[in-house]
Amino acid sequence: MQTIGKYVYAVPFLLFGLNHFVAGSQMAGMVPVPGGVIWIYVTGAAMVAAAVSIFINKKTKLAMTLLAVLLGIYIVLLHLPGAIKGDMSSTINTLKDLGLLGGALVIAGISRDNA
């Protein structure tokens, strides 16, 4: 069950990450710090790397810990400001990413880093 659950968890991150490369220029306006599209590509690569880590069972504890940090940054910089202002979409994305962050921490907790 744990293995299947980890694979199911990884699939959306693989697809989200690839989408960052396909639609990076459209997403660049959402970046609240200088760098724009570069940050879209960097975070896309991070999501793909996290998913690959799960699929190949290498450095999964580290990858999921870093993914949890990334999701926390998304919450604080991207979603929470809008949620505080009452934007329902931002509130939903805050809760979604909070749940995904929790899942990443659970997987980190059950994983051992294999070289």
Q: Which residue bears the tokens 């989408």? A: 19
Residue 98: the pLDDT is 98
Residue 40 placed within a domain: yes
By the 8 A CB rule, do 115 and 58 touch?
Answer: yes
Residue 51 placed within a domain: yes
CA 8 to chain centre: 14
Residue 89 placed within a domain: yes
By the 8 A CB rule, do 40 and 28 touch?
Answer: yes
One digit per residue, the tens of pLDDT, for the chain of length 115 reads 999 999 999 999 999 999 999 988 788 787 777 878 889 999 999 999 999 999 999 999 999 999 999 999 999 999 999 999 999 999 999 999 999 999 999 999 999 876 5
Residue 44 placed within a domain: yes
54 Cβ contact partners less than 8 Å away, ≥ 6 residues apart = 6, 7, 9, 10, 60, 63, 64, 107
Residue 115: the pLDDT is 56
Looking at this protein, which amino acid is placed at residue 110?
I
**Count of domains for the chain:** 1
Residue 48 placed within a domain: yes
Determine the Cα–Cα distance for residues 21 and 57; give it in Å rounded to an integer: 24
Determine the Cα–Cα distance for residues 12 and 5; give it in Å rounded to an integer: 12
> Measured between alpha carbons, how far is residue 81 from residues 6, 35, 95 in Å?
30, 20, 13
Provide the domain limits for residue 24: 2-110
Residue 115 placed within a domain: no
pTM over the 0.75 mark: yes
